Structure 1
Amino acid sequence: MAVTGWLESLRAAEKTALLQDVRKWRVKSALGALGQWRLEVGEPVPPGAGSLGLELIKETSASPVFMRKDTKMTFQWRIRNLPYPKDVYSVCVAPKERCIVVRTSNKKYYKKFSVPDLDRHQLPLDESLLSFAHANCTLIISYEKPKEILMAESELQKELKKVQTAHSDDGDCKTQ
């Protein structure tokens, strides 16, 4: 009778831990604060995994990684950890959704992404400016920058050169 009352008073997480042959508890410090978990029964925590709990679930390092890396003349996106040959990939423009779509013929990868720079300038996506390459398990998608964006970027660079920085050559701040 005492055992069932004790079991009912446990939280759901503690009940689950008991049913999975894991026994853990928290040690109180001298001030009464809860400290680290102590593990008595069960598998030890892998190094770097943190405390017991949801932190043990993490994304695999083999998952595709999507990132943007622009060059002077192109918008460029890289998707790492895609091991399939180049002929498996299809990269196209979805003009109604104003995005670029990447898909594989083996249905292992699908990604839609927009080009915010084109949206800011209200320019349409042009399929002829889109290209892609595959090397070292990385899919490299390039979209040539339209002349409107190249002109806007060059004007921005001119404006930035006009602005004096706080770190001038002589070390003095100049005022006008």
Structure 2
Amino acid sequence: MTDWFSKLQNAKKTCLVEKNLKKVHYDFGDGKELVEEYDLTTNCIVRRAWKCSKGLKDEGSWEIEVGDPEPVYNAEEKCMIRENVNQPFVTRRITKLNLEWRIRNLPYPIDVYSVSIDKESHSLIIKTTNKKYYKKLLVTDLERLDIELEQESVTFSHKFNTLIITYKKPKKLLEFERALMEEVKKVKPKSFGEGVNECKPS
């Protein structure tokens, strides 16, 4: 189908099912690992995380692409470290028909925002007319499949100090997701205690 689909097909895959989630771990054999968590009711990805190891002794750290970020803890003080709670931050979600970004802590009214596309970099550009906020969001799902962004697929709304940006999935992405789900169904889940840690970013 695509180079990215072939790479996922050829990766070493393990998975486990926990409650209503199916967690699939991909090992690409080049130091890169991917974990995707699927809601078994909707078959939508609720979390996607990457780990890149640079050498034998480098464990690497997990980078969250989809889903809420992992909390960071201070081991000495045994408390969670947080950035300024008033600073804007982005979380990503995926629904059956849309890609979605939520930028929290943006108190400005809806008419100050603009969301435009940058086809060359596969990005969404968020600006405010009051010049208080600027953000460039890479649309990784489309970049991997070499799908061009289209402005008419972008909508956005604002409520509860949160800017919600929605991108309607193109047909090619929907077809890719259906094909990938068929591949995911072929991966037999492991039992607890049988390589469970392979599927859990930490």
Indicate which of 114, 127, 131 corresponds to 2:155.
131
CA distance in 1 between counterparts of 2:146 and 2:113 reads 28
Q: Which among 120, 135, 142 is matched to residue 118 of structure 1?
A: 142
Identity %: 43
How far the C-alpha of 1:151 sits from its partner, in A, is 0.8
TM-score where L is the length of structure 1: 0.59
Tell me by how many angstroms 1:113 deviates. 1.4
SS at match of 2:101: strand
Which structure's residues are more often strand, by fraction?
2
Describe the shift of the 1:103–1:154 C-alpha distance in structure 2 as closer, same or farther (beyond 3 A): same
CA distance in 1 between counterparts of 2:187 and 2:85 reads 43
Displacement of 1:69:
1.2
Rounded to whole Å, the distance in 2 between the matches of 1:144 and 1:166 is 34
Aligned residue identity for 1:116: T
Structure showing greater radius of gyration is 1
Alignment correspondent of 2:180: 156
Query: Which of 108, 111, 118 pairs up with 1:84?
Result: 108
Distance 1:94 1:165 in 2: 40
Residues 1:102 and 2:126 aligned together: yes
Conserved 8 A contact 2:122-2:142: no
TM superposition outliers: structure 1 runs of 4+ over 4 Å = none
Map 1:1-176; keep pairs closer than 5 Å: 59-167=83-191
2:125, 2:136 within 8 Å by CA — same for their partners in 1? yes
TM-score of the aligned structures, taking structure 2 as reference length: 0.52
- The CA deviation at 1:96 is 3.0
Q: Which whole-Å deviations, capped at 9, do the CAs of 1:62-91 have from their partners, x for residues lacking one?
A: 000111111111111000000111111111
Aligned counterparts of 2:180 and 2:140: Cα–Cα separation in 1: 17
**Root-mean-square deviation over aligned CA pairs:** 2.1
Q: Call closer, same or farther: CA 1:159–1:96 in 2, change over 3 Å.
A: closer
What SS does the corresponding residue of 1:67 show, helix, strand or coil? strand
SS of residue in 1 equivalent to 2:121: coil
**Distance in structure 2 (CA, Å) of the matches to 1:164 and 1:95:** 38
1:150 counterpart SS class = helix
AA at the equivalent of 1:94: D
The SS at the match of 2:146 is coil
Deviation of 1:158 after TM superposition, in Å, equals 1.5
